[in-house]
Amino acid sequence: MATSEATGAPAPTAQSEGPDVPLLELRTISKSFGAVQALRGVDLSLDSGQVTALVGDNGAGKSVLIKTIAGIHAPDGGDILWKGGPVHIRSPKAAAALGIETVYQDLALCDNLDIVQNMFLGREVTRHGLLAEEDMELSARQTLTDLSVTTVRSIRQPVVSLSGGQRQAVAVARAVMWNSELVIMDEPTAALGVAQTAMVLALVRRLADRGLAVMMVSHNLNDVFAVADRIVVLRLGRMVAAGPASDFDPQTVVDYMTTGRSDRAPHPTDPGAVTTEGRAEGGEDD
């Protein structure tokens, strides 16, 4: 099937999207950094309207996997399909053109700018060569309202004045206002208090309820079980388990993270998930 090299999108005549086709599908994705094998034959599918939790210990390959989807790392092997059509995601810009937005742990917000300026950073709206401030304010306010983000005092307040939970909300709002269909969130509740964590988890759930696909990377299993529809477990570069969250409990997830297998019933195994002791040496921290 032909693909667009510029955007990574499927060619217009090659669409095969259907009701049973995943929004995003990875097939036997591998990635090496020199002698270090970070990903080994990873299979993964993400569906619209679901929160998929990606879990694994340090060195499991989580960061490499999300950066591969986000267009930062090019896979060495395997296929990426978007709505059933093969794509080559060569850059974050190509990922955004498809509808993939990533909210990294550092949020990439500018403290000295206000909420509106951050939400439109690099994508400013202009009219007759001037910034269309009113249009951007209306869009920013509407997006925050749609996501039920009501705790910010003003959309013109500097980001430096926001709490951790409010910053996360602004980063998520920035991601979803550009017609995104998949939002990847890297440790969205890290270093947040109890109330702020609850606010962010509710926001994650609202994204899925609006029909978006959400992939949440998290070390906090309480957060995972609070919002996830599906859980996938990486260990040393391999996917060792995947299935509905109801098929797991926290101890089962820990078993898969630490040993690659679990003797506890039931045994969650989506197609492509493996239970292996194969060891991927090294890799990035996450």
pLDDT one-digit tens code per residue, 171-219: 999 999 888 999 999 999 988 889 889 999 999 999 999 999 999 999 9
Rg (CA), the chain: 19
- Distance CA(34)–CA(214), nearest Å, equals 31
Q: Please, which residues have CB within 8 angstroms of residue 78's CB and are 6 or more apart in sequence?
A: 26, 27, 28, 29, 30, 41, 42
Q: Which amino acid, 183?
A: V
For the cut 60, the answer to whether the pLDDT of residue 70 exceeds it is yes
pLDDT band at 151 (very low <50, low <70, confident <90, very high): confident
Query: Strand, helix or coil at 168?
Result: helix
Pairing mode, strands 24-33 and 36-46 = antiparallel
- Give the residue extent of every domain in the chain: 12-99+181-259
Nearest CA to 121 among 130, 134, 108?
108
**Topology annotation, domain 12-99+181-259:** Rossmann fold (3.40.50)
Please, is 126 exposed, middle or buried when counting C-beta atoms within 10 Å of its C-beta (0-12, 13-18, 19+)?
exposed
Nearest CA to 92 among 70, 73, 107, 75?
70
15-49 confidence digits (pLDDT tens): 445 558 999 999 999 999 999 999 999 999 999 99
Nearest CA to 50 among 168, 249, 215, 174?
215
| Residue-level length of the chain | 286
pLDDT band at 264 (very low <50, low <70, confident <90, very high): confident
Section 42-71 average pLDDT: 96
Token code pair at residue 260: 């690659």
- Distance CA(59)–CA(81), nearest Å, equals 25
166-176 confidence digits (pLDDT tens): 999 999 999 99
For residue 157, give Cα distances in angstroms to 116, 122, 133: 9, 19, 15
For the cut 50, the answer to whether the pLDDT of residue 7 exceeds it is no
Q: What is the DSSP letter of 271?
A: T
Token code pair at residue 238: 């391999």
